[in-house]
């Protein structure tokens, strides 16, 4: 790839690089013309070499560093962390309350993200579980830094499950790593079969999709198979479970998924 203009030598069918190459590429290794041997390894006509600082740093590098610290803390504790993402109203909090109830003695804690109110954390605490609410104010997503602070308040026991309920938003939280083991997308049957196609980034980033409120399916003329087809179109590797937090349908398979992933994590740690 040309590092001056960023263009590559690869081609996409039906797409060609339209911009003109008005700078020269000097690769005369034997003819002794060596441009681009300054610190940055690039040369741009009209720009003195010393003035370009090569950076190559991810814009979210700071967030990723916080996320890496969280991930290491969780690994030390053999704890499984899940980042629950969905649109508002998919039933995340109800699903979590039911999950906590069914998990019985499993140590766990919850981090709740919302723009305003402590309603969700209050609902979780009512089940007897530990919960910390993060109010993002105007923010549209949780980030690694916020979650690290929240973990400071939770005093997670070994082998715990940590559920992080992200801000209800199918766009922004896709890009912000929190240090989780997996993103779990929750999609309710009332949202429309094409939701995964409309917001592909989030469903492509998720390991598991919970198709929630399946008890309502007979009343809203939806095709559950089409939901699954569309999820696999944006993410061929995604696991999908049909559940209803209200009736409990399919919840045993979700619990099994959680326990399997927690056990896998402990095994990995033991193997190190």
Partner 1 sequence: MHEMSLCEGIRTVIEDQARAHNVHKVTRVRVEIGKFAGVEKPALEFAFDVVMRGSVAEGAVLEMLDLPGKAMCFDCGKEVEIDDRLQPCPTCGGGKLMPTGGDEMRVKDLEAA
Contacting positions for partner 1 (CB under 8 A): 5-6, 8, 10-15, 40, 42, 47, 51-63, 139-141, 143, 171-172, 174-175, 197, 200-201, 204, 232-237
Residue pointed to by tokens 């590559």: 8
Angle, CA of 38, 41 and 46, to the nearest 5°? 70
Please give the structure tokens belonging to residue 187: 């999609």
Tell me the CA distances in angstroms from 42 to 23, 53, 55, 99, one per residue in order.
12, 10, 12, 55
Helix (H) or strand (E) run with residue 201 in it: helix 200-205
Of 142, 68, 144, which Cα lies nearest the Cα of 112? 142
Task: State which residue, 232 or 253, has the beta carbon closest to partner 1.
Answer: 232
Task: State which residue, 19 or 30, has the beta carbon closest to partner 1.
Answer: 19
User: Taking the complex as a whole, how short is the minimal distance between the CB of residue 234 and partner 1, in angstroms?
Assistant: 6
Listing DSSP states for 189-210 in one string gives GGG-TTHHHHSHHHHHH-SEEE
Residue pointed to by tokens 């039906």: 14
Task: State which residue, 202 or 211, has the beta carbon closest to partner 1.
Answer: 202
Please give the structure tokens belonging to residue 172: 């922004």
User: Taking the complex as a whole, how short is the minimal distance between the CB of residue 140 and partner 1, in angstroms?
Assistant: 6
User: Taking the complex as a whole, how short is the minimal distance between the CB of residue 267 and partner 1, in angstroms?
Assistant: 26
User: Taking the complex as a whole, how short is the minimal distance between the CB of residue 98 and partner 1, in angstroms?
Assistant: 30
User: Taking the complex as a whole, how short is the minimal distance between the CB of residue 54 and partner 1, in angstroms?
Assistant: 5
Distance CA 136, CA 116 (A): 7
**Is 145 in a helix, a strand, or coil?**
helix
Task: State which residue, 164 or 245, has the beta carbon closest to partner 1.
Answer: 164
Task: State which residue, 154 or 204, has the beta carbon closest to partner 1.
Answer: 204
Distance CA 249, CA 265 (A): 27
Task: State which residue, 237 or 271, has the beta carbon closest to partner 1.
Answer: 237
Task: State which residue, 178 or 262, has the beta carbon closest to partner 1.
Answer: 178
**DSSP letter (8 states) at residue 245:** T
User: Taking the complex as a whole, how short is the minimal distance between the CB of residue 67 and partner 1, in angstroms?
Assistant: 13
Please give the structure tokens belonging to residue 11: 């081609």
User: Taking the complex as a whole, how short is the minimal distance between the CB of residue 64 and partner 1, in angstroms?
Assistant: 10
């Amino acid at each position: 790839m040309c590092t001056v203009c960023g263009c590559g030598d690869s081609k996409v069918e039906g797409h060609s690089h339209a911009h003109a190459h008005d700078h020269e590429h000097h690769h005369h290794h034997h003819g002794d013309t060596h441009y681009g041997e300054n610190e940055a390894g690039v040369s741009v006509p009209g720009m003195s070499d010393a003035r370009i600082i090569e950076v190559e740093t991810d814009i979210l590098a700071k967030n990723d560093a916080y996320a890496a610290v969280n991930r290491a803390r969780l690994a030390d504790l053999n704890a499984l962390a899940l980042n629950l993402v969905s649109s508002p109203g998919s039933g995340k909090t109800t699903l979590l309350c039911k999950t906590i109830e069914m998990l019985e003695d499993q140590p766990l804690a919850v981090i709740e993200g919302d723009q305003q109110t402590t309603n969700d954390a209050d609902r979780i605490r009512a089940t007897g579980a530990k919960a910390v609410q993060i109010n993002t104010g105007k923010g549209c997503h949780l980030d690694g830094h916020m979650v690290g602070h929240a973990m400071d308040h939770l005093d997670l026991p070994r082998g715990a499950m940590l559920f992080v309920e992200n801000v209800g938003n199918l766009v922004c939280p896709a890009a912000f790593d929190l240090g989780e083991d997996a993103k779990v997308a929750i999609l309710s049957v009332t949202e429309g079969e094409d939701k995964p196609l409309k917001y592909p980034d989030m469903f492509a980033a998720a390991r598991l999709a919970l198709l929630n409120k399946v008890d309502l399916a007979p009343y809203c003329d939806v095709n559950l198979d089409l939901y699954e087809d569309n999820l696999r179109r944006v993410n061929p590797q995604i696991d999908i479970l049909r559940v209803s937090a209200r009736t409990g349908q399919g919840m045993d398979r979700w619990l099994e998924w959680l326990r399997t992933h927690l056990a896998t994590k402990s095994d990995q740690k033991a193997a190190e």
